[in-house]
C-alpha cells in the first residue's frame, strides 16, 4: 500500500458531509476527477471561482467554505489514522473494490474506506454467510462446512468482529488459515474492541479491516444497515444459513431475486422455524449442509 495521500484530509471531510447524499458526494469526487482537479487545488480557489467553474449554488458553497475552514481539524484526524496503521481508500482508488463499486453504483457505494491489513483482499473473490445468533444446529454445521470449503477454494470471507455468529465465522476462518474482509462497526479512532488480538493475522496477510464510519464516531446506531449493505455489495456469493430475525439485507436479497440474481439458502428441515423456505419460494437456490445445490426437493 502506498503512503497515505496528502489529499486524504479533504476526502475525509467531504465523505462525511451530513447534508449531502452518498450519490451527491460521489458525484462531487467524479466532477473533480473529470476536470483534472486535485482536491487541494479546488479548495485553494475562491468561492466565486467555485460558482463560476462548477456552478455550485450558494448553499453548497457555504458548506464547502466550512470544509475549507475546518481543514486543520481533518488534517489532524488523518494523521492520527495513519499513526494507528490505517489507510484511506477513496472510491476512485485502484485499491477500491471494483466489484463493490459496480454492484452498488454511485448512489450507494461508500465514498471511502478506512483500511488496515492486506489491501489486495479488497479485490479478491469474496462470499458471506448470513445466519442468526438464535440459529439452528444444522445452521452451525452448514457454517462450519462452508468455511472449510471457502478456505480450501481461496475465497475471502466477509465477516465482522461483533459477538455472536459473525465472530464465530471469523474465528473459524482464521483458525483454518483462511482470509477475511472484516467490517468494523466503529470509527477507527474510537474502537471499543481493540484489534491487537489480530496482529498475527494482519502480519500474515489474512485480514483486511474495513470501516466506513467517521473515525471519531463510536455510537454504531446505523451500523446494522451499513453492514448489511456492505455484505451485499462485497460478496460475489451469498449463502443463508438461518433467516430468522428481520434484517435490511433481506430486502436487498429479495430485490436481487426479482432481478434474477443468485443466492444460496440452506434447505431447512420440516420443523425448523425460519424464512429459509420463503427465500427459496422466491427464487433462491436451495443447498444442502455442504452448500451443494439440491437439484430436486419437495
- Structural domain count of the chain: 2
Q: Is 119 left (phi over 0), alpha (psi -120 to 50) or beta?
A: alpha
If asked whether residues 129 and 263 sit together in one domain, one would say: yes
- Report residue 296 as a C-alpha cell: 430436486
Span between the terminal Cα atoms of the chain, in Å: 51
pTM, rounded to two decimals: 0.92
Domain boundary among 39, 65, 83: 83
Dist CA 238 CA 128 (whole Å): 5
- The answer for residues whose C-beta is within 8 angstroms of residue 64's C-beta and 6 or more apart is 43, 47, 50, 56
Position 112 in a domain: no
Length of the chain: 298
If asked whether residues 238 and 142 sit together in one domain, one would say: yes
- Report residue 44 as a C-alpha cell: 485553494
Domain boundary among 83, 107, 132: 83
- The answer for residues whose C-beta is within 8 angstroms of residue 145's C-beta and 6 or more apart is 289, 290, 291
Residue 266 maps to which CATH number? 3.40.50.450
Beta pairing class for 285-287 and 112-117: unpaired
- Report residue 191 as a C-alpha cell: 474502537
Domain boundary among 58, 83, 108: 83
Dist CA 132 CA 288 (whole Å): 18
Dist CA 62 CA 72 (whole Å): 18
Residue-range definition of the domain harbouring residue 264: 117-287
Position 106 in a domain: no
Position 3 in a domain: no
- One digit per residue, the tens of pLDDT, for the chain of length 298 reads 567 888 999 999 999 998 899 999 999 999 898 888 999 999 999 999 999 888 889 999 999 999 999 999 999 999 999 999 999 999 999 999 999 999 999 999 999 999 999 999 999 999 999 888 888 899 999 999 999 999 999 999 999 998 888 899 999 999 999 999 999 988 999 887 789 999 999 999 999 999 999 999 866 656 677 888 899 899 999 999 998 767 777 888 888 888 888 899 999 988 888 889 999 999 999 999 999 999 865 5
- Report residue 294 as a C-alpha cell: 439440491
If asked whether residues 268 and 214 sit together in one domain, one would say: yes
Q: Is 261 helix (H, G, I), strand (E, B) or coil?
A: coil
Amino acid at each position: 500500500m502506498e503512503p497515505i495521500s496528502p489529499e486524504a484530509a479533504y476526502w475525509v471531510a467531504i465523505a462525511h458531509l451530513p447534508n449531502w447524499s452518498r450519490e451527491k458526494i460521489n458525484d462531487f469526487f467524479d466532477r473533480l476527477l473529470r476536470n483534472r482537479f486535485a482536491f487541494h487545488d479546488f479548495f485553494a480557489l475562491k468561492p466565486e471561482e467555485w460558482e463560476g467553474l462548477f456552478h455550485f449554488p450558494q448553499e453548497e458553497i457555504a458548506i464547502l467554505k466550512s470544509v475549507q475552514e475546518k481543514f486543520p481539524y481533518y488534517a489532524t484526524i488523518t494523521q492520527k489514522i495513519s499513526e494507528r496503521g490505517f489507510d484511506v481508500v477513496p472510491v476512485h482508488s485502484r485499491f477500491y473494490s471494483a466489484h463493490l463499486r459496480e454492484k452498488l453504483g454511485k448512489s450507494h457505494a461508500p465514498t471511502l474506506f478506512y483500511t488496515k491489513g492486506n489491501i489486495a483482499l479488497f479485490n479478491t473473490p469474496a462470499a458471506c454467510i448470513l445466519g442468526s445468533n438464535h440459529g439452528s444446529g444444522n445452521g452451525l454445521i452448514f457454517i462450519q462446512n462452508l468455511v472449510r470449503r471457502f478456505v480450501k477454494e481461496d475465497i475471502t470471507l466477509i465477516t465482522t468482529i461483533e459477538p455472536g455468529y459473525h465472530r464465530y465465522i471469523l474465528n473459524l476462518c482464521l483458525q483454518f488459515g483462511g482470509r477475511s474482509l472484516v467490517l468494523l462497526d466503529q470509527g477507527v479512532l474510537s474502537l471499543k474492541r481493540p484489534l491487537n488480538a489480530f496482529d498475527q493475522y494482519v502480519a500474515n496477510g489474512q485480514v483486511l479491516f474495513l470501516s466506513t464510519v467517521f473515525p471519531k464516531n463510536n455510537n454504531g446506531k446505523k451500523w446494522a444497515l451499513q453492514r448489511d449493505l456492505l455484505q451485499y455489495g462485497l460478496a460475489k456469493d451469498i449463502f443463508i444459513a438461518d433467516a430468522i430475525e428481520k434484517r435490511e439485507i433481506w430486502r436487498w436479497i429479495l430485490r436481487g431475486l426479482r432481478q434474477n440474481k443468485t443466492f444460496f439458502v440452506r434447505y431447512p428441515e420440516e420443523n425448523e422455524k425460519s424464512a429459509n423456505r420463503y427465500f427459496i419460494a422466491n427464487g433462491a437456490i436451495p443447498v444442502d449442509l455442504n452448500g451443494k445445490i439440491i437439484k430436486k426437493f419437495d
